[in-house]
Structure 1
Amino acid sequence: MISRNKLLFTSIIVSLMVPFILYKSWSISIWIDSLFLVGLLLLIICSIMILIEGDFFTAFIKSSKHFLYRMSKKEQVIRESEKRPNHTVIYRKNFPSRKNFFEIGILFCVISLTVSIFSFI
């Protein structure tokens, strides 16, 4: 489990390094842009965790295995001779740090959008 403080500190360090990697220079406006990008990346990571927890890909994997099982006569013969069942074991994955990724991602996006709006005015 990733602690909130460790994730926040790492994200701020990454947002300070991104301008040097992408733009080869550093300014406050470029840093605000990179802060938004890091926040967006954290939100995408959180969304992927939600998809994995919700067994979104399990249906695709099961249907692919079932299709390949039906197409392969050799596999059918092996399964029937060993008397193995067709269904497989389903594993549940739980990400306890998903909330931290979401909160810090939203915080970075809101801060960068707020600073961008007020600097434009």
Structure 2
Amino acid sequence: MNFKLILLFISLSVSLVSPFLLYKQWTLVAWFDALFLIGLLLLMIYSVMVLVEGQFFTAFLKSTRNFFAKTNKKDQLIRESEKRSLESVSFRKEFPDRASFLQVGLLFCIGSLLISSAIYFLT
């Protein structure tokens, strides 16, 4: 069983339980609403993974460290006496299977949106 199927089954089971938590009752419309919310959550998780993997926040962290390192004279003297550089070691974070979050999230969002629209306009 691959990661995408596990994610799909876990997301479906959470979406079946969440209408009880959100609306205190289970209806078909509440389930489609919960399915849409789970899909949005998966898309947000995918977006955060893309930002972290693309090192979006690295520039902010480095500039903040440089600013505070230059304004703190005590640390600057210690760094000069130990002959350390200001730059820290950078690493690259890679997530194993982020495309599954995108695919399952889009499936849930688009599927529940289409079925909810069909229910609304046909009834």
TM-score (normalizing by structure 1): 0.96
Q: Which runs of 5+ in 2 are unaligned?
A: none
1:13 aligns with 2:51: no
CA distance in 1, matches of 2:92, 2:41: 24
Q: Secondary structure at the match of 1:55?
A: coil
Cα offset for 1:120?
Answer: 1.4
Cα offset for 1:10?
Answer: 0.5
Runs of 4+ in 1 over 3 A off after TM superposition: none
Q: Which runs of 5+ in 1 are unaligned?
A: none
CA distance in 2, matches of 1:79, 1:97: 40
Could you say which residue in structure 2 is the equivalent of 1:112?
A: 112
Structure 1 segment 31-70 matched on structure 2, within 5 A: 31-70=31-70
Q: Secondary structure at the match of 1:33?
A: helix
Q: Secondary structure at the match of 1:19?
A: helix
Instruction: Letter of the 1:58 partner, please give it.
Output: T
CA distance in 2, matches of 1:16, 1:120: 21
TM-score (normalizing by structure 2): 0.95
CA distance in 2, matches of 1:22, 1:75: 51
Instruction: Letter of the 1:28 partner, please give it.
Output: L
Instruction: Letter of the 1:46 partner, please give it.
Output: Y
1:96 aligns with 2:96: yes
Instruction: Letter of the 1:113 partner, please give it.
Output: L
Residue identity (%): 51
Instruction: Letter of the 1:101 partner, please give it.
Output: F
Deviations 1:67-110 (A, max 9, x none): 01011000001100110111111110011211000000000001
Count residues in correspondence.
120
CA RMSD in angstroms, aligned pairs only: 0.9
Deviations 1:13-37 (A, max 9, x none): 1111111111111000000000000
Q: Secondary structure at the match of 2:93?
A: coil
CA distance in 1, matches of 2:26, 2:98: 31
Structure 1 segment 15-30 matched on structure 2, within 5 A: 15-30=15-30
